[in-house]
Chain A
Amino acid sequence: MSATLTKEETPTPPIEEPPVRKASARKRLVPYWLLLPGIVWLLVFFALPMVYQASTSIQTGSLEKGFEVTWHFQTYWEAFQEYWPQFVRSLLYAGTATLLCLLLGYPLAYLIAFKAGRWRNLLLVLVIAPFFTSFLIRTLAWKTILADGGPVVDVLNTLHVLDVTSWLGWTEGDRVLATPMAVVCGLTYNFLPFMILPLYTSLERIDGRLHEAAKDLYASPATTFRKVTFPLSMPGVVSGTLLTFIPASGDYVNAELLGSTDTKMVGSVIQSQFLRVLDYPTAAALSFILMAIVLIMVTVYIRRAGTEDLV
């Protein structure tokens, strides 16, 4: 998982050709034969569909009369104008969930990497174990946990947390279910392992002697964390946030199961336009707008985070 977004760190020296004779033409073709089936698969079922979607997005027509390419770029503008609240909401929810994942995931990754000792493997299993129950079933379980009048709502109510969150517009009165808070809670929950695992691998690589050195130089634990641990864990932070934010921005499962019509994310819109309304051009345009927004944000973020070995 850790390597999911990091590209090769240490390029292995290429295997030397047997020194006896010059590499035959047949041998030079080996890598291409190895690549061929998989790459063709990706080109036909990943790249080509993008082209079809692009052409769909500039078509006009209806399902009965058929669609035709008319270079109608206005679809993009119209779709964005109609659904910009869903876009804003998706980015807001995904961003908040990513931040929460980082805040919640970091201590756990740190705990496993540095403090767990012989419990390390057990804790890792416990991080991955929830994965094995279908994520839809687990998301449905949140319905029970956050139910009106349930223990979570009661506790939050007694602590007057709900007053504050309602004032902020994240909850409504004394309910949590069917509010933005429930959706963000579900998103955070669903993508936490994707944050913890990369964080853990990059923390685990840190040489423990660096901590000792910092201590010897009279750095307080907080300073050590700020100046040594955190900067060294940046590759994990970057790939963790990407692995969380990208899928979360397109997710519609949490918004549909835990939210209400007021919490619809753009994924829901794309899904219903494609599968229920059957307005393919609008759906394709929405999907491309989402892709563009995510790609731009990710590129800017990677530049800013300054980890060259990524992407």
Chain B
Amino acid sequence: MRWIRKNLVVIAGLLTLAYMIVPNIVVMVFSFNKPNGRFNYAWQRFSVDAWKDPCGVADLCDSLTLSLQLAAWATLGATVLGTMIAFALVRYRFRARGAINSLIFLPMSMPEVVMAASLLTLFLNMGAELGFWTVLIAHIMFCLSFVVVAVKARVMSMDPRLEEAARDLYAGPVQTFVRVTLPIAAPGIAAGALLAFALSFDDFIITNFNSGSTVTFPMFVWGSAQRGTPVQINVIGTAMFVIAVLVVVAGQIITNRRKKTATT
């Protein structure tokens, strides 16, 4: 009993962690299921059929490719626009700074449905055809704020004296930016871009409102929840999880190595 009391925080924390991981394990396990009927909610028997043929379901891989393309463009757009805003906000004093800060903050402090619905009224009023472009516009819009916040945090912690030093050493403004500012800000920009990619790829609510008949991967999963979920969805979910974890671990190893070589 004393042991439990002493380690209460650790036990509670690990239980929460279990709560967070269990669904991923279920997704993984059920990717090896051979379901009876259309729904893959109950365990039947082991099979690797779905892994052998992940694109075997009509439209599944099309939606996946579409989502990847969409996320790539949305990331590019939001990262470029967001990084520019972040630099302007941190590096310059000008009028309307407060107003601009709130304009950036607002999209994050609003339920997604509200944004999705209002954007739809705009598109309906303009008579825009719903599809890839309207979704891309929407994704850039809501990813933008997150990029600004991520880049701002990094640029704010930068030592301005480094750039002054570069200028003292006769580096031109462009040279200073490319060789000093950008490399220091890069981790922040990368974090913002990664966040934008994840947000765009996984977004459902805003896409649901503004996609028309375009089917992104989350839309496909949503539809399949009503029609019957193919095992392939679990395969893709598992693959995404494994790939992401590998990328994170690899990144960790690389930064650790760099730190080691930097100190020796």
Contacts and interface: CB of A to CB of B under 8 A. Distances in A.
Interface string B233-253: 110111011011100110010
A136 B233 CA distance: 10
Interface in A6-23: 7-8, 10, 12-16, 18
B91 A42 contact: no
Interface residues of B, number: 98
Contact of B20 (A109, A134, A192, A246): A192
A1 B147 CA distance: 10
A234 interface: no
Given A14-B91, A115-B10, A250-B112, 12 more contacts: A4-B149, A31-B88, A31-B92, A31-B94, A46-B106, A111-B10, A126-B21, A135-B204, A140-B221, A271-B113, A284-B117, A295-B110
A134 B237 contact: yes
Interface string B177-204: 0000000000000000001001001101
Contacts of B254: none
A111 B14 contact: yes
Contact of B113 (A15, A105, A287, A311): A287
Interface of B: 8-10, 12-17, 19-24, 26-27, 30, 41-42, 81-82, 84-85, 87-88, 90-94, 100-101, 103-115, 117-122, 124-125, 137-138, 140-141, 144, 146, 148-150, 152-153, 156, 158, 160, 163-164, 167, 195, 198, 201-202, 204-205, 208-209, 217-218, 221-222, 225, 229, 233-234, 236-238, 240-241, 243-245, 248-249, 252
A37 B81 CA distance: 7
Nearest to B138: A45
B85 A4 contact: no
A126 to B, nearest CB: 6
A291 B201 CA distance: 25
A156 interface: no
Contact of A112 (B13, B87, B90, B209): B13
A133 B241 contact: yes
A290 to B, nearest CB: 6
A203 to B, nearest CB: 12
Looking at chain B's contact residues, is the secondary structure mostly helix, strand, loop, or mixed? helix
Contacts of A15: 91-92, 160, 163
Nearest to B87: A34
With a 10 A CB-CB cut-off, give which of A50, A134, A137, A274 has the most chain B CB atoms.
A137
A306 interface: no
Interface stretch (A80-88, A143-151, A168-176, A207-215): A143-151
A108 B17 contact: yes
A56 B248 CA distance: 46
Contacts of B22: 145
Interface string A42-66: 1101111110110010000000000
B241 A129 contact: yes
Interface residues of A, number: 95
A203 B15 CA distance: 20
A129 B245 contact: yes
Interface in A233-256: 242, 246-247, 249-253
B17 A257 contact: no
Interface of A: 1, 3-5, 7-8, 10, 12-16, 18, 30-32, 34-35, 37-39, 41-43, 45-50, 52-53, 56, 104-105, 107-112, 115, 121, 123, 125-145, 147, 189, 192-193, 196, 242, 246-247, 249-253, 257, 267, 270-271, 274-275, 280, 283-284, 287-288, 290-291, 294-295, 298, 311
A246 B138 CA distance: 19
B17 A18 contact: no
Contacts of A144: 26, 30, 41-42
Given A37-B84, A138-B23, A52 B122 contact: yes
Contacts of B217: 134
A111 B82 CA distance: 34
10 contacts: A30-B88, A31-B88, A49-B118, A49-B119, A107-B8, A132-B240, A137-B236, A250-B111, A250-B112, A251-B205
